[in-house]
Structure 1
Amino acid sequence: MSASDVQHVEDEDGEADGWEAVRDLPPSAKLVAKVLEYNETLTQSQLAEETLLPPRTVRYALNRLEEVGVVDSRFSFADARKRIYTLSIE
């Protein structure tokens, strides 16, 4: 399978693969997505700790990932001031 074939990978529903949407994002967004892939749910501060990125960079990465629809967020039940982020692609 060549690189051009990978660009056109689609799932059973005919939608583009979620990782395809991440491909053109900045490296920080790719790193955050990968960390979320290995850890089901994390807060922004946990992501900053895991990735060793500054909180502002993590915030930017999460915004970009939410724009392309590959990250879901919800309020934490433990602390309503925090949001929990989950990767929504497989």
Structure 2
Amino acid sequence: MSVTEAVPAEEDNRDRWQDVRDLPPSAKLVAKVLDYNGTLTQSQLAEETLLPPRTVRYALSRLEEENVVESRFSFSDARKRLYSLQV
């Protein structure tokens, strides 16, 4: 792979996170954890990020406003929602 072929991939990665760039640090952390782990519940996100549940809720609401995360009901427990990154 030449250097010129690697540059567009880096630009794609920067563009991919454009919607997250101006969000609070907690939202960036939640987005990065979802990127690394895939789909998680809110309580799993709180455990992984070591953030309080209230902060995770706020981060998820900000990410949802930017259409960066998708949420759906859990089939195993309908009281919980599963969150996944959409960037």
- 1:82 matched to which residue of 2? 80
Letter in 2 for 1:70: V
Computing the radius of gyration from Cα coordinates, the structure with the larger value is 2
| Offset, 1:20 | 0.5
Q: Where do 1:4-83 residues align within 5 Å? A: 17-83=15-81
Percent of aligned pairs with the same residue?
Answer: 79
CA offsets 1:20-79 (integer angstroms, 9 cap, x no match)? 010000000000000000011000000000000000000000000000011000000000
Flag structure 2 segments of 5+ consecutive residues without an equivalent.
1-10
Runs of 4+ in structure 1 over 6 Å off: none
Task: Give the helix-richer structure, 1 or 2.
Answer: 2
> Any unmatched runs of 5+ in structure 1?
1-8, 11-16
Q: Distance in 2 between matches of 1:32 and 1:40?
A: 11
